[in-house]
Amino acid sequence: DMKVTQMPRYLIKRMGENVLLECGQDMSHETMYWYRQDPGLGLQLIYISYDVDSNSEGDIPKGYRVSRKKREHFSLILDSAKTNQTSVYFCASLSRQAPLFGEGTRLSVL
Amino acid sequence: TQTVSQSDAHVTVFEGDSVELRCNYSYGGSIYLSWYIQHHGHGLQFLLKYYSGNPVVQGVNGFEAEFSKSDSSFHLRKASVHWSDSAVYFCAVRTNTGKLTFGDGTVLTVKP
């Protein structure tokens, strides 16, 4: 069964701490995405990855970076997290049918 | 750059009613159009998509959508809604570069 796995599901951090959000898929999909979702704003694209070490900025990349060293894993990194990065983060991978989404990581930055 | 507009932020209907959720897009090239459903606290689940061919596409759970090039629209419809259809619905546009852009979503509330 095709599935995108996000870890952790819930995370609380203090302002200034580093944050690592992880996403995995075992379907060997080339293209993967990171989004954030805030109330009333829908999903905003942070980064898109076309394959290992082939990443492109999305619409709101500032304050984020990504890492994709293996096709199956796509990480989102917040260096020195800010309170305005409190949000729900979704990872997705592109199947032949359509992008498949993980269940999200709810991040609170205090 | 592509944009997606969902003009209705909230739609409320009664169980058994029909419903149409509207989506309009703008983009100059080839695109994939899709709809997703999101239940509270969960990720997005794919409902259906259109790229070419028959402009009316069927999805899961009785949903269908119709593409109109002249109107730049891809509206989602269901003939008879159930209370479990209450959720947030997102329209999305994907270009050949893989960039996937979402509308702001429509909250569908189905009353018993």
Is A9 within a domain? no
> Is A3 a member of any domain?
no
Does A104 contact B at CB distance below 8 Å?
Answer: yes
Q: Which of A31, A42, A50 sits opposite B103 (nearest CB)?
A: A42
Question: What is the pLDDT, as a whole number, of residue A98?
Answer: 84
**pLDDT score at B82:** 96
- pLDDT tens, residue by residue, A45-92: 999 999 999 999 999 999 999 999 999 999 999 999 999 999 999 999
**CATH number of the domain to which B95 belongs:** 2.60.40.10
Containing B66, the helix (H) or strand (E) segment is: strand B64-68
Provide the residue range defining the domain that includes A85: 14-109
Residues B15-42 have pLDDT tens digits of 999 999 999 999 878 889 999 999 988 8
User: Among all residues of chain B, which has the CA nearest to that of A38?
Assistant: B104
Q: Classify burial at B56, counting beta carbons within 10 Å of its beta carbon; exposed 0-12, middle 13-18, buried 19 or more.
A: exposed
Tell me if A2 is assigned to some domain: no
- Say yes or no: B46 contacts chain A, CB-CB below 8 A: yes
Find out whether the peptide bond into A8 is cis, omega within 30 degrees of 0.
yes
Structural domain count, chain B: 1
A58 within a domain of the structure (yes/no): yes
Q: Are A57 and A47 in contact (CB under 8 A)?
A: yes
Name the residue among B43, B104, B105 with its Cβ closest to that of A101: B43
CB of B2 within 8 Å of any CB in chain A?
no
pLDDT-derived band at A96 (thresholds 50, 70, 90) equals: confident
Domain count, chain A: 1
- Report the pLDDT value the prediction gives residue B56, as an integer from 0 to 100: 96
At residue A86, the 3 state secondary structure works out as coil
What mean pLDDT is reported for chain A?
94
pLDDT at A78: 96
Average pLDDT score over residue span B50-74? 94
- Structural domain for B101, as ranges: 3-111
Q: Domain containing A30 — which CATH number?
A: 2.60.40.10
* Lowest-pLDDT choice from A56-60, B63-67, B83-87, B95-99: B95-99
* CB atoms inside a 10 Å sphere around CB B66: 16
Nearest chain A Cα distance for residue B32, angstroms: 9
> Is B44 at the interface with chain A, CB within 8 A?
yes
The answer to whether position A83 is within a domain reads yes
